[in-house]
Amino acid sequence: MLTQRRKTLSLDNVAISPRYSDQALGNQSLGAQSSVYKGIPIVASSHDAVGTFEMATVFEEHNMGSFISTRYDISELYDYFFKDRGNIIPSFGYTEGQQHKWNELKGSLPSGKIKAIQFACNTPHNISYMYELSKFKEQNPDLIIYTSPVSDPYVAARLAEVGADVILVGNDARYISTNANTPGIGIGHVTALTECIEAVHQRDGLVMGAGYYDDNSDVCKALALGADMIQLEETLLGHEECYGKTEQQNGEMIKNDIPYKGSVNNEITSLISTLNECMVQVGVDNIQNIKNADVVLV
């Protein structure tokens, strides 16, 4: 019988402490450089509404990345990825149908067109996911692999050991515990990040925060806690580039069941401004150094 109870911390529990510096706004570098990813380390989710070609195109214009939803068929993916796509990353599940789609696409595209994929799964804490990811890596040794979101440091460590390059860390209790479609599963995002970051970094992997980022300050906090990259999902819903119809309900424009937000360009511009301001406040000139800021409990 499980009786363990513990308190975990969410992003609402922390703030970034300002620091004396001579940094001036406009002198900051937002580009991250690694063997895995080059560019602003912000990536749009593979959520069916968010992971669209249209969303990816806008993110690419801003030197950011994007996952592509698993819902696209082979012909659509072939046409899109025949052109070099930089930080645009398709998602594939490990079902037989999804793996057939990947193998068909890999066999038809010129070699090297796709350098990374997200290995997608709704239950990534399950041992079968680790097994299938390990098998997939053996079959595709040169491919950079991003996982689905996990929050258990043991699982995060095992995924890094069997071949994942970037471990997504999520299950943010602020969002999931209020979602009627889940069984109340969730953990404070600060706790998940700090526990998993240590486990993954010890194994030379990278961590992508995949929490419920309610506003731009949450993105800054997750980077300050040590996340190497950030996935955005909720804040991107409702934009023009999302999949789905824009409809009028009671005199209000609605998309993805929320008020219509227009082009995602405005969201990205606001986020870039916030990231620059954060770097000035904590006295760093590169986005990768936000992790050196002091994070305090509030």
How many Cβ atoms from other residues are within 10 Å of residue 94's Cβ?
A: 17
pLDDT at 110: 94
In the block, tokens 């290995």 appear at 119
Contacts for 189 with CB less than 8 Å, ≥ 6 apart: 9, 10, 11, 170, 172, 173, 174, 209, 211, 212, 222
Tokens of 94: 């490990």
Tokens of 95: 């079902």
pLDDT in tens, 26-42: 778 998 888 899 999 99
Tokens of 55: 């969303």
Do β-strands 229-232 and 206-209 pair in parallel, antiparallel, or remain unpaired? parallel
Output the DSSP codes for the chain.
----------GGGEEEEP------TT--B--EE-SS-EE-SEEE---TTT--HHHHHHHHHTT-EEEE-TTS-HHHHHHHHTS--TTEEEEEESSHHHHHHHHHHHHHSPTTS--EEEEE-S-TTSHHHHHHHHHHHHH-TTSEEE---B--HHHHHHHHHTT-SEEEE--BHHHHTT-TTSSS--B-HHHHHHHHHHHHHTTT-EEEE-S---SHHHHHHHHHTT-SEEEE-GGGTTBTTSSS--EEETTEEEETTEE--B-THHHHHHHHHHHHHHHHHHT-SBGGGGGGSEEEE-
Q: Which domains, and CATH codes, for the chain?
A: 11-234+261-297 (3.20.20.70)
Q: Which pLDDT band, with edges at 50, 70 and 90, does 180 fall under? A: low
Determine what percent of the chain is predicted with pLDDT higher than 70.
96
Span 109-127, mean pLDDT?
Answer: 94
Q: For residue 172, give the nearest of 199, 198, 143, 196 by alpha carbon.
A: 196
Mean pLDDT of the chain, nearest integer: 93
pLDDT at 119: 98
Which of 88-92, 136-140, 148-152, 247-251 comes out lowest in average pLDDT? 247-251
pLDDT at 176: 67
Q: For residue 92, give the nearest of 139, 36, 24 by alpha carbon.
A: 139
In this structure, are residues 158 and 127 in contact, taking their beta carbons and an 8 Å threshold? no
pLDDT in tens, 120-171: 999 999 999 999 999 999 999 999 999 999 999 999 999 999 999 999 999 8
pLDDT in tens, 255-285: 999 999 999 999 999 999 999 999 999 999 9
Q: Is the pTM of this model over 0.85?
A: yes
